[in-house]
Amino acid sequence: MSLLVQFNEVTKKYNDQTVIDKFSYRLKNGEVIALLGPSGCGKTTILNLTAGLTNHTAGEIQRNTDDIGYVFQEPRLIPWKTVLDNVVFAVKSGSKQDKLEKAHHLLAKVGLEKSMKCYPKQLSGGMRQRVSIARALVSNPKIILMDEPFSALDVSLKRELQEDVISIIEEKNIGIVYVTHDPEEAVRMADRIIMLEDKLCKVKREISLERVRKKRDHHYIQKMKCELSECIIGGQSRYVETV
């Protein structure tokens, strides 16, 4: 597996306020990392630093690709373009026909084949989020950053889309950094979960999960989910490596 991103003791300040203090992590291709932590602890800031959307104040960020897709917390669609055109717009290369085919394929994958001609304002929050996911995936990025991508979806659609995203990840071998507040979602989606303290993005606990077992083993998922929930509630600080 090759290295996509590495943070070495990265610090981020907004004005004089430190929001991230000496945070380190690395992402390889084919790996899904979930960032789990309380509101305001700095998860989105880590994504923005990873994407290069904001500058760090100290430490070192090594980014081996600029080919990055981002699913923002609030979908940022172009209001005057249709759903289809919003996705086509993100395809970087190929003929017009190729671009259309790729966009159709992804929109069908996220269950929006009937809404391709709609404009963003005609969609529900969950539908807009699905367009955003299709748009991030369509350009075949090497890294995808997802900021609570399923928070606006109902439970069954959430589960369906999680499965779709997992199959796309496995097919394309991309690296994903994924922000969520939901322990079960973190367990289902991630190979590695980084749990953060409520301030400064200090790592509270890091867990590696067994991807193969997760596929079939419902008890394993529930066990890991309970462990995570306990850690969130108990506020214990310990490191467990389960692989």
Ligand X SMILES: Nc1ncnc2c1ncn2[C@@H]1O[C@H](COP(=O)(O)OP(=O)(O)OP(=O)(O)O)[C@@H](O)[C@H]1O
Given the rule CB under 6 A, which residues bind ligand X? 14, 19, 37, 39-45
- Whichever of 99 and 158 has its CB closer to ligand X, that residue is 158
Rounded to a whole number of angstroms, the minimum distance from the CB of residue 229 to ligand X is 17
For ligand X, the closer of residues 27 and 145 by Cβ is 145
Closest separation between CB of residue 106 and ligand X, Å? 26
In the bound complex, what is the minimum distance in angstroms from residue 111's beta carbon to ligand X? 26
Q: Which is nearer to ligand X, 32 or 41 (CB)?
A: 41
Smallest separation (angstroms) from ligand X to the CB of 202 = 12
Smallest distance, ligand X to C-beta of residue 225, A: 19
Dihedral (Cα; 24, 73, 101, 189), 10-degree rounding: 50
Please answer whether residues 3 and 18 qualify as being in contact, where contact means their C-beta atoms are separated by less than 8 angstroms.
Answer: no
C-beta closer to ligand X: residue 43 or 158: 43
Minimum CB distance to ligand X smaller for 42 or for 149: 42
Smaller CB separation from ligand X, 19 or 207: 19
Nearer residue to ligand X within complex by CB, 88 or 143: 143
Closest contact distance (angstroms) between CB of 12 and ligand X is: 8
What is the separation of C-alpha 242 from the centre of its chain, rounded to a whole number of angstroms? Answer: 22
Full DSSP string of the chain: --EEEEEEEEEEEETTEEEEEEEEEEEETT-EEEEE--TTSSHHHHHHHHHTSS--SEEEEEES---EEEE-SS----TTS-HHHHHHTT--SS-HHHHHHHHHHHHHHTT-GGGTT--GGGS-HHHHHHHHHHHHHHT--SEEEEESTTTTS-HHHHHHHHHHHHHHHHHHT-EEEEEES-HHHHHHH-SEEEEE-SSTT-EEEEEE--HHHHHH-HHHHHHHHHHHHHHHHH---------
Rg (CA), the chain: 18
